[in-house]
Structure 1
Amino acid sequence: MLRGLYTAASGMMTQEQRHNTVTQNIANINTTGYKAVNSVQRSFPEVLVSMIGGNQSSEAGRKLGKFNTGVYAEESISLYTEGALRETGKTTDFALVSSFNVQNPATGENYPFDASGRYVDDNGEVIYRPEGFFTVRNEDGDTRYTRNGSFRLSPEGSLLSENGYQVLDNNNRPIVLTGSARNFTVNEQGEIMDADGNGTGITLGISIVSEPHGLIREGLGVFRMADPDGQTRFMTDTDNGVIRQGFIEASNVDPTQSMVELTAALRAYETNQKIVQYYDRTLDKAVNEIGRV
């Protein structure tokens, strides 16, 4: 009986985590460059049930079968699918349009990544699609990554992110624009031109993260590498990436699907709650009524 109580309680905690994940997505529907998060649930390992001595002719006893003893929220996975582009007309707003592919060395063809940006081969190995990010530097001098291209120019000419981080070029240096370069334009490869259309020798630093599942959210649309030695490189002309000036990338949250997930989590939570209440009433009868007989 108590096993069923614990199973229902674990289900309630899992659905609570699922609910929190969906509400976080809904709260960031209008956040520039926000990437939705999915909560992954997994059941506890199966337990083999056997009856010792149930079969006198067998020393090992009789096997009754297997059952699971609950579920838990294993992890939260970010979805890096691109959000819709929204035109702003501001020269300091940028959106990254990218679709980086990876070739299968055995066949020479690109891996068919799914909607979440991953592919599982015949051996069970998971391969992730590389993702591109604007490269910024925080106040501590640490490199961070973001899809929020809503930038601004400081009075000194430094290109800053929405939360005040320095935007880096493809030489890993902060971008500073002075003189005629303050009235700049940016081509699709990220090269910055001055007011006369002359090149400034500065290119936006678009980092390609080979294993985006290793990124950790820091809030405000900023990510950091879980492994400081993780593989990253700057985008080049040969990569399938385009910079759009005067645009920003909207959140990739699907509001309709989010409301479906929210309702499903609520219904599952209520179901487990009723089971807990049922076990509570059953235990009450066993202790306070049957015990007096």
Structure 2
Amino acid sequence: MLRGLYTAASGMITQQRRHDTVTQNIANINTPGYKQVESIERSFPEMLISLTDGDQGATNRNIGRLNTGVLAEESISMNVQGDVRQTNSLDDFALVSEINLADPATGQNIPFDASGKYVADNGTVTYRPQAFFAVTGKDGETGYTRDGNFQLNGAGNLLTSTGNQVLGANGNPVTLQGSMEDYNVDSRGVITARDTGGEVGRIGITVVTQPGQMSRSGDGLFRIANAQAAGARALEAGDNVEVRQGYLEGSTVDAAASMVDLTAAMRAYEANQKVVQFYDKSLEKTVNEIGRV
């Protein structure tokens, strides 16, 4: 009986965390470059049940496995391309990343699904590489973002909307004189002066071949703990990545789907709550009525 009580309680905790994840998505529905977060759930470590017939030399017979509830294991970002909208502001930049990979077996481009992954017949999972702007994080380490809502301050530093310095292709902060109206930025992130046409810098763009290895660090930034495992590298000539000046990438949050998930989490929470109340009444009867016999 107590096992069922704990199972229902774990379900309530899981649905609460699922609810928190969805509300986070809804709160960032208008945040440029925000990637929708999905909650991943799994069962508790499964318990092996053995049946013994009482004979001294008998061997245990496995009759199955029993799950004792679920837990919210992690929340992962859906690193897919968001809609790009024109803002006509020269301080805004959007990344359009549609990097293709060839299937070693067929030589054809891998057909990634809507979540940016492909599962082969043998179970191998391949993720679509994604491009990110490189910026300086609060801790001094390199951070990565798709939020191109930049601004040029009085000191000539190109900053994100949260005040992080935008890094160039050389790994140093981008510094410019004047305003962004004095510069053009091409599709590869090359910054040129409007009056002379000479190159004055390049916006740093990093391609991550395993975006699932990235973790959120706040302020719309991602960080990479192991660059080798994440496959982080500089932008290459063959990468289908385009920088668009005067545009912003929107969030990938689906408002309608988020409301459905929010309602489903609430209903599941209420169902587990009813189960807890049922077990509570059953225990009350056990203690107050059966205990007196």
TM bucket normalised to smaller? over 0.9
> 2-side partners of 1:151 and 1:62: how far apart?
65
Over 3 Å counting, the alpha-carbon distance change for 1:243 and 1:262 in structure 2 is: same
Over 3 Å counting, the alpha-carbon distance change for 1:62 and 1:170 in structure 2 is: closer
Provide the residue aligned with 2:80 in structure 1: 81
> 2-side partners of 1:233 and 1:73: how far apart?
32
Q: What is the CA-CA distance between 1:106 and the residue it aligns to?
A: 2.8
SS state of the match for residue 192, structure 1?
Answer: strand
Q: What per-residue deviation string (whole Å, max 9, x for no partner) do you get for residues 216-243 of structure 1?
A: 1111111110215443222233210111
> 2-side partners of 1:49 and 1:159: how far apart?
62
Provide the residue aligned with 1:111 in structure 2: 110
Provide the residue aligned with 1:286 in structure 2: 286
Over 3 Å counting, the alpha-carbon distance change for 1:13 and 1:181 in structure 2 is: closer
SS state of the match for residue 136, structure 1?
Answer: strand
> 2-side partners of 1:243 and 1:155: how far apart?
24
Asked whether the equivalents of residues 181 and 194 of structure 1 are also in contact (C-alpha less than 8 Å), the reply is: no
Provide the residue aligned with 2:136 in structure 1: 137
Q: What per-residue deviation string (whole Å, max 9, x for no partner) do you get for residues 263-283 of structure 1?
A: 000000100110011000000
Asked whether the equivalents of residues 38 and 76 of structure 2 are also in contact (C-alpha less than 8 Å), the reply is: yes
Q: Give the stretch that moved more between structures: 108-117 or 21-30.
A: 108-117
Q: What is the CA-CA distance between 1:178 and the residue it aligns to?
A: 2.0
Provide the residue aligned with 1:268 in structure 2: 268
The TM-score, its normalising length taken from structure 2, stands at 0.92
Give the RMSD, CA atoms, in angstroms. Answer: 2.1
> 1-side partners of 2:259 and 2:164: how far apart?
34
Mapping 1:17-32, distance limit 5 Å? 17-32=17-32
Q: Give the stretch that moved more between structures: 232-241 or 129-138.
A: 232-241
Provide the residue aligned with 1:14 in structure 2: 14
Over 3 Å counting, the alpha-carbon distance change for 1:196 and 1:124 in structure 2 is: same
> 2-side partners of 1:8 and 1:33: how far apart?
37
Q: What is the CA-CA distance between 1:245 and the residue it aligns to?
A: 0.7
Q: Give the stretch that moved more between structures: 92-101 or 161-170.
A: 161-170
Over 3 Å counting, the alpha-carbon distance change for 1:145 and 1:69 in structure 2 is: same
Give the % identical residues: 54
The TM-score, its normalising length taken from structure 1, stands at 0.92
Q: What is the CA-CA distance between 1:182 and the residue it aligns to?
A: 5.8
SS state of the match for residue 81, structure 1?
Answer: coil
Asked whether the equivalents of residues 100 and 110 of structure 2 are also in contact (C-alpha less than 8 Å), the reply is: yes
Q: Give the counterpart letter for 1:13 in structure 2.
A: I
Provide the residue aligned with 1:218 in structure 2: 217
> 1-side partners of 2:212 and 2:206: how far apart?
15
Count of residue pairs the alignment pairs up: 292
> 1-side partners of 2:192 and 2:61: how far apart?
78
Q: Give the counterpart letter for 1:190 in structure 2.
A: G
Asked whether the equivalents of residues 90 and 181 of structure 2 are also in contact (C-alpha less than 8 Å), the reply is: no
SS state of the match for residue 167, structure 1?
Answer: coil
Over 3 Å counting, the alpha-carbon distance change for 1:161 and 1:18 in structure 2 is: same
> 2-side partners of 1:78 and 1:153: how far apart?
29
SS state of the match for residue 25, structure 1?
Answer: helix
> 1-side partners of 2:131 and 2:235: how far apart?
8
Over 3 Å counting, the alpha-carbon distance change for 1:22 and 1:140 in structure 2 is: closer
> 2-side partners of 1:37 and 1:139: how far apart?
22
Provide the residue aligned with 2:175 in structure 1: 176
Provide the residue aligned with 2:194 in structure 1: 195
Provide the residue aligned with 2:41 in structure 1: 41
